Amino acid sequence: MTNQTDPTGDVRLTGIAKTYGAFTAVHPLDLTVPQGSFFALLGASGCGKTTTLRMIAGLEEPSAGTVSLGGQDVTALPPYKRPVNTVFQSYALFPHLDIFENVAFGLRRRGLRSVKKQVGEMLDLVQLGEQARKKPHQLSGGQQQRVAVARALINHPKVLLLDEPLGALDLKLRRQMQLELKRIQTEVGITFIHVTHDQEEAMTMADTVAVMNAGRVEQLGSPADLYENPNTTFVANFLGTSNFIEAEVDSRSGGEIVLKAGGGKLVLPEARCSAPATAGGKVLVGVRPEKISLTHADDAGEIPEGRNRITGKIADSSFIGVSTQYVVDSPVCADFEVYAQNIDRDPRLVPGAEVVLHWNPAHTFGLDAAQDADAGVEEAA
């Protein structure tokens, strides 16, 4: 295990940018990935995440800025001189070499003569010891994926780059490989930079996630932080689902902002509002569907004081086992989504029923109203 505080594996991008003619794939970007962390670049296709990864690998030349690995500027180095290795999308295993030789490729290029022991150990780590003499096309997708990981990891790179490594696998295998990769990363302690468009994958595996959109990093943070405190509607919609209510700032006091929306009042903690909230200004109030409780309008009196509440009418409900997902039509927001755990199901909550939606104000977040409330909805689908 490598010392976690050893700074030799820090990846530092300074003002790195990539343009193709008039098109800017990556806007000037500063990013530091600390040694030993599992870092995910998350975004829809075409957002510049793969280009960023390829610039770190040296497969793409940045138009501006520098890449440094552990304090060493590697911007001008060709890929074969950089202490990084890549797990390519669809693996790029050498079809004419067997699994053993694929894994040994990097070691042999560095002039190592006796590779048998190392390759054997690496194949055991990814549970492919039996398959050493097979050709890549004789293996299943999941096995090929593990060969690609082994082929990169055996070189003990300072950083391992993963370019949508699980994209070609089916859902079940993907879940399994996510845990597997996480286990390997913990075991070897190498910095992993993982590019993916799958928000669930990024959240499950990574310590830090950078959400990219149109060549820029929209927000960077731990998965829980991004999920609970999105700074933009894009992040709020790309990571999970969010409901937005356009509200007007009424007053602010004691760390709380009071807002008016459709005749009702909503409370938002000041710390959770990323927009400048001046009295009379507009704010987009967001809340996650699972934070909301649903009470039939007849029982509205039983709702405890101090909760944000909105009235509405159930438009649709779908039972999906662990929870029921409701779509509620409300005067302040059409298609309000609510996920209710199936603990005690109220038989009156059927489409057409008048309901009150209520939630703890601490779960509310505020965003700048000047942006598109639906940004990132399409991409996340």
Residue 122 vs residues 3, 94, 155, 236, 320: alpha-carbon distances, Å: 21, 18, 10, 40, 42
Kindly identify the residues of this chain, within the stretch 127-146, that bind another protein according to CB under 8 A.
135, 137
- Name the residue among 241, 206, 242, 232 with its Cα closest to residue 42: 206
Which window, 42-50, 103-111, 225-233, 274-282, contacts another protein (CB under 8 A)? 103-111
Which window, 63-71, 87-95, 245-253, 264-272, contacts another protein (CB under 8 A)? 87-95
Query: Which tokens sit at 276?
Result: 């400048």
Task: Output the smallest distance, CB 137 to another protein, in A.
Answer: 6
Kindly identify the residues of this chain, within the stretch 261-300, that bind another protein according to CB under 8 A.
none
CA distance 251 to 295: 28
328: left (phi over 0), alpha (psi -120 to 50) or beta: beta
CA distance 189 to 179: 15
96 or 113: CB nearest another protein? 96
> Rule CB under 8 A: is residue 151 a binding residue for another protein?
yes
- The neighbour count for residue 200, using CB atoms within 10 Å, is 14
Q: Which of 7, 78, 306, 331 binds another protein (CB under 8 A)?
A: 78
Task: Output the smallest distance, CB 56 to another protein, in A.
Answer: 11
Number of H helices, E strands in the chain: 9, 20
Q: Which of 96, 113, 117, 172 binds another protein (CB under 8 A)?
A: 96
Q: DSSP per residue over 360-375, as a string?
A: -GGG-EEEETTS-TTT
> Rule CB under 8 A: is residue 48 a binding residue for another protein?
no
> Rule CB under 8 A: is residue 86 a binding residue for another protein?
yes
88 or 339: CB nearest another protein? 88
Task: Output the smallest distance, CB 222 to another protein, in A.
Answer: 29
Task: Output the smallest distance, CB 160 to another protein, in A.
Answer: 11
Contacts of 290 (CB under 8 A, 6+ apart): 323, 339, 341
Binding residues for another protein, total number by CB under 8 A: 26
**Strand 191-196 vs strand 323-330: parallel, antiparallel, or unpaired?**
unpaired
Residue 208 vs residues 5, 37, 83, 273, 274: alpha-carbon distances, Å: 17, 8, 22, 22, 20
CA distance 81 to 319: 55
Which window, 53-61, 120-128, 171-179, 266-274, contacts another protein (CB under 8 A)? 53-61
> Rule CB under 8 A: is residue 79 a binding residue for another protein?
yes
Q: Which of 51, 85, 144, 196 binds another protein (CB under 8 A)?
A: 85
Task: Output the smallest distance, CB 31 to another protein, in A.
Answer: 20
Contacts of 111 (CB under 8 A, 6+ apart): none
> Rule CB under 8 A: is residue 339 a binding residue for another protein?
no
Q: Which residues bind another protein (CB under 8 A)?
A: 57-59, 78-81, 84-86, 88, 90, 92-96, 105-106, 109-110, 135, 137, 151-152, 155
